[in-house]
Amino acid sequence: MAEKLTIRDVDVGGKRVFVRVDFNVPIDEGTGEITDVSRIQAVLPTIEYLIGQGARIILASHLGRPQGKVEESMRLAVVSRRLSQILDKHVAATRDCTGAEVEEAVATLKNGDVLLLENLRFYPGEEKNDPTFAESLARLADIYVDDAFGTAHRSHASIVGVAKLLPAVAGLLLEKELRNLGGLLKNPAHPFAALLGGAKVSDKVAMVENIMGKVDCLLIGGGMAATFLQVLKYEVGLSLVEKDLLDTAARLIAQAKEKNIRLLLPVDVVVADEIKAGTKVDVVSVEDIPPDMRIADIGPQTIKIFEEELLRCKTIFWNGPMGVYEIPRFAEGTQAIVRLLAGSQAKTIIGGGSTAEAVAGMGLSEKMTFVSTGGGASLRFLSGETLPGVAVLLDKA
């Protein structure tokens, strides 16, 4: 993919700049307060740069899945309050995205002011990439900036529609994402390991196939390991197996062997009769998984083997937890990997989503080389897919 122009390449002084950000932050249902501000902090370099350059900043984001209608619990006022505290600067919030009141709020912006529009997904036109909705957003601004890598794989109005109507460039976070993830595909330092977990093989097949020629070792844990173990004729009990992907998993095992890639699967696992706290739990060899139990985490021997392999590596990409990390009893595999990577001298790239949440939950995000803000987007990018939100931006050439 061609290198893209960024906010550093255009004159933003005094201009109305529409910045698509990803403020889809977790909110506590009881208190209504934000529980993790990492997505807000990730975009601060772009906002602070634009403030410093005297731009008039219009931030736009989605929050949750309101299905094209107004949901009071998904309003973005809570984000504007928190952003105001972080920036130590008032960030006004509108209760709409388009229309006379919003246009008036934009018209009153002075250089360096920041305004946050209401939740884009309150409008059916957002996810449908409706041209009329895109035009009404584009009318608010002179320049478009995409700094929401987590949604760059979506063809939505605020991501693709508006970008086609205005000079469109990347924000500093998006630039960082493309540089770090792109580096894995172009010139990773070897040995290079891909550590994959999470529930499903289907999410990661295209990515695994695309990086097959670049990695030296492939380590597979999490729920997706069950599909690979079944291919190798192990009993996996009640674990989730994607039966329609058994042939695909077999093909990936064969490809790894053919390309001389070390493929490591669990040798022992934590099994449970139910995936919930307080349930019956055991640690067993993969040869002894009871038919009435399911895999919930990698076992201590597997942790040791994975750690020995990863300590040899100079580049490590990790996407997907090693177990059901939300439940403390099934979090040890994931936490052990986080601790190892936090102390590693290797280049460590965390592939967003629940993996990023696990790292942030342990307060160790800063110890990683880079933590992606886009789970699905990072997988698609590493699969070699063109991301609509990136393709639409102006090329540097």
Same topology between domain 7-175 and domain 188-382: yes
Task: State both tokens at 226.
Answer: 């069950």
Nearest CA-CA partner of 186 in 321, 345, 347, 394: 347
CA separation, residue 151 to residues 20, 171, 213, 354, 378 (Å): 9, 13, 28, 15, 10
CA separation, residue 135 to residues 101, 157, 360 (Å): 16, 9, 37
Q: Tell me, what DSSP letter sits at residue 160? A: I
CB 105 within 8 A of CB 128: no
The arrangement of secondary structure in 188-382, i.e. its CATH architecture, is 3-Layer(aba) Sandwich (3.40)
Q: Percent of the chain at pLDDT above 90?
A: 85
Q: Residue 199: is its pLDDT beyond 90? A: no
Sequence letter at residue 96: D
Residues in Cβ contact with 194 at an 8 Å cutoff, skipping those fewer than 6 apart: 208, 211, 215, 217, 218, 219, 317, 318, 319
pLDDT for res 258: 94
Q: Residue 352: is its pLDDT beyond 90? A: no
Q: Which segment of 159-168, 198-207, 212-221, 381-390 scores lowest on mean pLDDT?
A: 198-207
Cβ-based burial of 218 (10 A; exposed 0-12, middle 13-18, buried ≥19): buried
Active site residues per annotation: 39, 200, 353, 376
pLDDT confidence of 374, banded at 50, 70, 90? confident
pLDDT for res 203: 83
Cα(147)–Cα(180) distance, integer angstroms: 15
pLDDT confidence of 29, banded at 50, 70, 90? confident
pLDDT for res 201: 86
Cα(208)–Cα(50) distance, integer angstroms: 38
Sequence letter at residue 199: A
Q: What is the mean pLDDT of residues 101-122?
A: 97
Q: Which residues of 326-350 are buried (b: 16+ CB within 10 A; e: fewer)?
A: ebebbbbbbbbbbebbbebebbbbb
Angle in degrees, CA 90, 91, 92, rounded to 5: 110
CA separation, residue 199 to residues 102, 206, 222, 287, 294 (Å): 42, 16, 6, 21, 12
Task: State both tokens at 368.
Answer: 């990683």
What are the tens digits of pLDDT across the range 273-327?
988 888 889 999 999 999 999 999 999 999 999 999 999 999 999 999 999 999 9
pLDDT confidence of 142, banded at 50, 70, 90? very high
pLDDT confidence of 1, banded at 50, 70, 90? low
pLDDT confidence of 46, banded at 50, 70, 90? very high
CB 349 within 8 A of CB 378: no
What are the tens digits of pLDDT across the range 249-259?
999 999 999 99
Q: How many CB atoms lie within 10 A of CB 69?
A: 10
Cα(361)–Cα(170) distance, integer angstroms: 28
Rounded to 5 degrees, φ, ψ at 313 are -90, 155
Q: Delimit the domains of the chain by residue range.
A: 7-175, 188-382
CB 126 within 8 A of CB 157: yes
What are the tens digits of pLDDT across the range 71-104?
999 999 999 999 999 999 999 999 999 999 999 9
Cα(161)–Cα(129) distance, integer angstroms: 6
Q: Residue 38: is its pLDDT beyond 90? A: no
pLDDT for res 227: 95
Average pLDDT in the chain: 94
CATH 3.30.930.10 correct for 7-175: no
Q: How many CB atoms lie within 10 A of CB 64?
A: 14
Q: Which segment of 21-25, 28-32, 284-288, 292-296 scores lowest on mean pLDDT?
A: 28-32
Q: Percent of the chain at pLDDT above 70?
A: 100
pLDDT for res 397: 82
> Which strands form 56-60's sheet, in the order they lie side by side?
91-93, 114-116, 56-60, 16-20, 143-146, 168-170
